[in-house]
Chains A and B, each alone.
Chain A
Amino acid sequence: MKLTKLIGLLLSISLLVVSSTVVWGQQKTQITVQTYWSLEPPGGVAWSDIIKKYESSHPDVEIKHYYVPFGDLVKKLITQALTGDFPDVVFADNPDVQYLARAGAFKDITKLVQEWGVWKDYIPGSQLAVTYRGKIYALHQSTNNLALWYNKDYFKQIGIASPPETWDELINVCQKLKASLPKVYPIGFSARNTEEGTWQFEPFLWSSNGSLLALDKPEAVRALDLWTTLVKEGYAPRDVLNWGQGDLTQYFKNKQLAMMVQGDWELSQSGLEDFKKNGMVFGNNFDVAKIPVPKKGMKPVVPMGGECFTLPAKGNPQKEKIAWDFVKFLNDSKNMADFCANTGRVPTRISAIEPLLKDRPDLKVFTEQAKSAVPRPAAGAGEKYTDVSTITREAIQKALSGTLSPEQAFKEASEKIRKLFSTDEEYNKALVEARSALSKVRK
């Protein structure tokens, strides 16, 4: 008796819950979005603002955000692709787009993008990043890249007027900094055993005309040689082997590093406040400069960062229209510029760059570099990029820790990378693709 009563009670409660959501559902359409961006202030203000802005202009839509930690997003999308149970709007870091498109997690949105008609407004790297086998699979909502950050006070102290532009100048500045400031490390970068390590090395590799698919070539080896020299001479601590990019900012803020390789996302409004709290004002105490190149006249080529929004392969057809509308809203030129101004990012649409720079002239170095930024898979064997990256950073770590010389480390790596391809033809095709991606953005 008691049991039936209990079951009856539970049933009525669940019915009540179900019916109330149905009533709610009639009033508002709920669109689910999944990202690794937090909505919490101060960092998440821009993201939660843009969601609120959409909701207030579309009172019949409710945006429900699901937060997934950075390291879990691709795993989550793979699981969702297996079960077919996707959120209405999906999101991924740009180097993962081609892989996820190939895996069948994303929808081919070529037609929708063509109908919208703003495709030509995207910078070349952003177009490359979301295209797989001639089809568009996502829209690149914002980008970021790496530059050389330097402590102006330290530079003044040792009498250097401008930041180093070439590798020789970089070594020279490091030498001077080390001689006069023994407690400060001249430079820091991240050579950690994660994608961060490869991503931080690529600006030097690509600016030197090197390719991830031909690491045994002198252009590539000299880039690793530069990093190894920086560590060997004590200009950078060996700790770079374990440092993530977040660590770099901490040491730079604490004035333990005179220079660092770092991205523009640290120049968000809240990030700038943090710097101020440490007595560092952008432009006065520290500044950013383009990544140094091997020789004068060469052009810095950096990897392209930033995230993409799109529709899942199997979405809810009734909600797809609203979901696409939300993706377009996020990619709207004005919204993009506002979002970037707050988060210290670079717009992917050319028409949004000028409005952003009016607001944030300090992002100029990054917007310039973005125009020639390369998406990593395009210059690193497409869907094999994760393997290529793993092998590359293993070699970087071997050289920096002194296990192997730069030549040996990259020779070993290039042999391993070659083995990822079953035929010469396949390898040569990837090599040509990587070369053409790099030359495309260099123009």
Chain B
Amino acid sequence: MDRFGPKRYGFILPAIIFTVLFAIYPLIYNVVFSFQDVTAISLIQKTSQFIGFKNYIDTLNDPIFRRTVLNTLIFTVLSILFQFIIGFLIALLFNKEFPLRDFMISLIMLPWFIPILVSGTVFKLFFMDMGLINRFLLSLKLIPKIVPWITDANMAIYSLTIANIWLGIPFNFILLYTGLKGVPVELYESAEIDGAIGLKKTLYITVPILKPIIITTLLLGAIFTIKVFDLVWIITGGGPGNSSHLFSTYSYQLAFGNYNFGLGAAVSVIMILIIIVVVSILNLIKVED
């Protein structure tokens, strides 16, 4: 048998075919679209024209798109930051033995099991002007008047971020929790003998050992958060006044709301480029380690 001969490619052929058909081909098709004037009509009549960078120029000049970039930034950074901190704190807490721990863990995981269609709708009911949060805060006299959580153009994106943080905690928690389980207890014991207590143990033992897991968590978190779609679509639909769009929802609205596939493709190509950049940066940190 020749281990290094051309035969060995036979083994990876299925994987290559699959990737080309289902990942690379649509991706290239999408890039081609983004340089064309594609609408539903031109698509069917096969009259799409090559228009160079016009879709990209139009997109960059579009105030809604600029707002979308800002929104995606706010949404992603705040989501990852808080999901991670809260998830990490809960993981630390659950790393200690206490009764009913396993049951509580399954409760923590609950948001992950609920379809986003359901949790999104519930959040919409919570955040409404006549919704639960406003009624609760009003009855406790914590707010003087109704807070327009999702009906104010400036606030909507922050309310969506809160909802997304809640949704993302289980994911961060479970990755970090399994990581913590792998830290040898002896390390803490010897550190205690050397006089390390509380926060010091976490900062100087747990965090360095968990570093690869932390980076993986942040990496996956970034990818998941940048492409969030359903939550925003259900709660605000990108409104009010297109003030709470993310790349995904705006690209969808352009492509499937207005049937302007060219513009929608341009937005999604920009989104993919940004994801590639973010992932590369995080990977670089990981490799350096």
Measured CB to CB, the residues of A under 8 A from B are 74-75, 78, 81-82, 99, 102-105, 185, 192-194, 237-239, 241-242, 256, 383, 386-387, 390, 394-395, 397-398, 400-404, 409
Contact = CB atoms under 8 A, between A and B. Distances in A.
15 contacts: A82-B44, A103-B44, A237-B130, A238-B148, A239-B131, A241-B150, A241-B236, A241-B239, A242-B236, A256-B130, A390-B253, A390-B257, A401-B148, A401-B153, A403-B243
B285 to A, nearest CB: 38
B43 interface: yes
Nearest to B151: A238
Interface string B248-281: 0000010011111000000000000000000000
Contact of A242 (B45, B64, B124, B146): B124
B262 to A, nearest CB: 13
B242 interface: yes
Most buried by A among B43, B44, B45, B256: B44
Contact of B256 (A75, A256, A400, A404): A75
A103 B45 contact: yes
Interface string B117-156: 0000000100011110000000000000010101111000
Nearest to A383: B41
Interface residues of B, number: 32
A239 B44 contact: no
Contact of A78 (B238, B241, B259): B259
B258 A387 contact: yes
Contacts of A193: 236-240, 242
B236 A398 contact: no
B40 interface: yes
Most buried by B among A104, A242, A404: A242
B235 interface: yes
Given A238-B148, A242-B124, A242-B235, A103 B40 contact: yes
Nearest 9 A-B pairs (CB), nearest first? A398-B241, A193-B239, A401-B240, A238-B151, A193-B237, A397-B241, A397-B240, A403-B153, A103-B41
B147 to A, nearest CB: 10
B44 A104 contact: yes
Contacts of B260: 387
A239 B129 contact: yes
A78 B153 contact: no
B241 A242 contact: no
A192 B239 CA distance: 8
Nearest to A313: B44
B48 to A, nearest CB: 12
A192 B64 CA distance: 17
A74 B236 CA distance: 23
A46 B131 CA distance: 36
B44 A238 contact: no
B54 to A, nearest CB: 13
Contacts of B237: 192-194, 242
Contacts of A387: 258, 260
Nearest to A195: B257
A386 B261 CA distance: 14
Contacts of B45: 103-104
A356 B4 CA distance: 80
A43 B152 CA distance: 36
Given A82-B43, A103-B40, A103-B45, A394 B259 contact: no
A401 B258 contact: no
Nearest to B154: A403
A102 B47 CA distance: 13
Contacts of A398: 153, 240-241
Nearest to B249: A193
Nearest to A401: B240
A239 B146 CA distance: 11
B58 to A, nearest CB: 11
A403 B152 CA distance: 8
A78 to B, nearest CB: 5
Given A241-B240, A242-B128, A99 B253 contact: no
A237 B45 CA distance: 45
Nearest to A403: B153
Nearest to B128: A239
Contacts of A192: 237, 239
Nearest to A384: B258
Nearest to B256: A75
A160 to B, nearest CB: 23
Contacts of A404: 241
A201 B215 CA distance: 49
Contacts of B150: 241-242
Nearest to A75: B256
Contact of B129 (A75, A237, A402): A237
Contacts of B240: 193, 241, 397-398, 400-401, 403
B130 A239 contact: yes
A237 B260 CA distance: 33
A192 to B, nearest CB: 6
A400 B243 CA distance: 13
A316 B237 CA distance: 39
A395 B243 CA distance: 11
Interface in B198-243: 235-243
Contacts of B256: 75
Contacts of B152: 401-402
Nearest to A404: B241
A75 B239 CA distance: 23
Contacts of B130: 185, 237, 239, 256
Contacts of B146: 238
A402 B153 CA distance: 8
Given A193-B239, A241-B150, 9 more contacts: A78-B44, A81-B44, A104-B45, A237-B128, A239-B129, A241-B240, A390-B257, A404-B241, A409-B241
A256 B44 CA distance: 47
Interface in B34-48: 40-41, 43-45
B194 to A, nearest CB: 57
